Amino acid sequence: MKFLDLAKVHIRSGAGGGGCVSFRREKFIEYGGPDGGDGGRGGDVVAEAVDGLNTLIDFRYQQHFFAKNGQPGQGSQRTGKSGDDIVLRVPVGTEILDEDEETVLADMTEVGQRVTLASGGNGGFGNLHFKTSTNQAPRRANAGQPGVERTIWLRLKLIADVGLLGLPNAGKSTFLAATSNARPKIADYPFTTLVPNLGVVGVDGVEFVVADIPGLIEGAHEGRGLGDRFLGHVERCSVLLHLVDGTAEDVVADWRTIIGELDAYGGVLAEKPRVTVLNKADALTDEDIAARRAALEAATGGPVLVMSGVSHEGVTEVLRALRAEIGADRLRQTRAGETGGEDDAWHP
C-alpha cells in the first residue's frame, strides 16, 4: 500500500427538497384544503476515524464527495425523503483543515470519532404549512435550502508514542526492525526510508508504538533533502529517540544539526522529552565509545545511552528509558499467550 499523508478533497452536502403545493381532492369531500408536504433534508458530509488505516491513499483516486439531495414534498401531506449522508473514512490521527491549510476544522484522534464537515440543507415547507384562519388555500411553498460546498485538506499525523530522529543512515530503520516486526527498507545509502514506518515494541510487560521517519539533513526546514514534511508525524509522540551515528567524524555536529532543525520547525516538537543514543557501538572500540559518549554528554547536558541495533547491545536499556517517558495511560499490557503474529512486539 502506498503512503500518502496529505490530500485535497472537494465536498458538497445535499440540497433540501422543495415544498409541494397541493390540494386535497377526494370525492364527497368539499373544501379539502391544502395538503402539500415538506421537502426532505439534504444529506450531510461526515468524516469518521476508522481503525486499520494508516494512509490517505484512497483520496488520491477520489477527490469529490457529494451527498444526496433531499426529495421534494408530495401531496397528501407526504414529506420528501431525506438525502443519504456521505462518510469520509480517514485514519486515526488525521487533521482536517480548511482551504487555507491553516485553520483546523477537526482533529480525528480516536477510533469512531465523527464530525460533520458540511450540513445538508433543510427541506422547504409545503403549502400546508402556510394555512391560517385567514388564508385557507395558500398557493405558496418554499424551495429547499442549498447544500454547502467547500474544499478541505486532509493531513495525516501518525499516532505513535515514540518518534525516531536522526541523520540519514543513523540506524533508525535498523532499530525499528530489531525491536519490532516492522520491516522497513534497510540499505547502506542515505534516504533509504522514504515514508514513515510504524512498529510495536515491548519491554517489561508493556507495549508502545514507535514511528520511524525519513532522515533529516541540514537545511531540511528550507526543503533540502526530503525536507521537514514528515516531522508532523512525530508531533503527537510522548518522547523522541535521537539516534546519533557513532561512526561519524563529528558526533556533536551531527547532534546539533538535528536539534537546529527541530528549533527551526517550531511548535512543541523542540520541547518534547528526548532520549539521546550513540548508535552503532558494534563498529567502535571501547576507547572511541567512551570519548564520543563524553563529547555528546557535554553537548547535551544530560546522559547519553550507547546501543547497537545490529547486535542488540544496549537495546533493552534504551527501551526502558523510552518507557519511563511515556504516560501510563498510553502504555498497554503485553498480549499474553500470543506468539508468532505479524503485529506481535519484540521483547528482550
- The annotation places the binding site for Mg(2+) at 173, 193
* Sequence ranges of the binding site for GTP: 166-173, 191-195, 212-215, 279-282, 308-310
- 42 grid coordinates: 439534504
Residue 12: Cβ within 10 Å count = 21
Residues in the chain: 348
Phi/psi at 14 (5° precision): -80, 145
Cα 279–Cα 324–Cα 273 angle in degrees, nearest 5:
65
Q: Which amino acid type is present at position 262?
A: L
Angle between helices 172-179 and 315-325 (to 10 degrees): 90
Annotated binding site: 166-173, 191-195, 212-215, 279-282, 308-310
Opening angle at CA 126, ends 120 and 127, nearest 5: 155
Do 22 and 140 contact (CB within 8 A), yes or no?
no
Distance separating the N- and C-terminal Cα atoms of the chain: 30
Instruction: Report the SS3 class of residue 113.
Output: coil
d(CA 338, CA 343): 10
Please state the separation of Cα 240 from the chain's center in Å: 18
Crossing angle of the two packed helices 251-265 and 286-300, in degrees rounded to 10: 30
Residue 35: DSSP 8-state: -
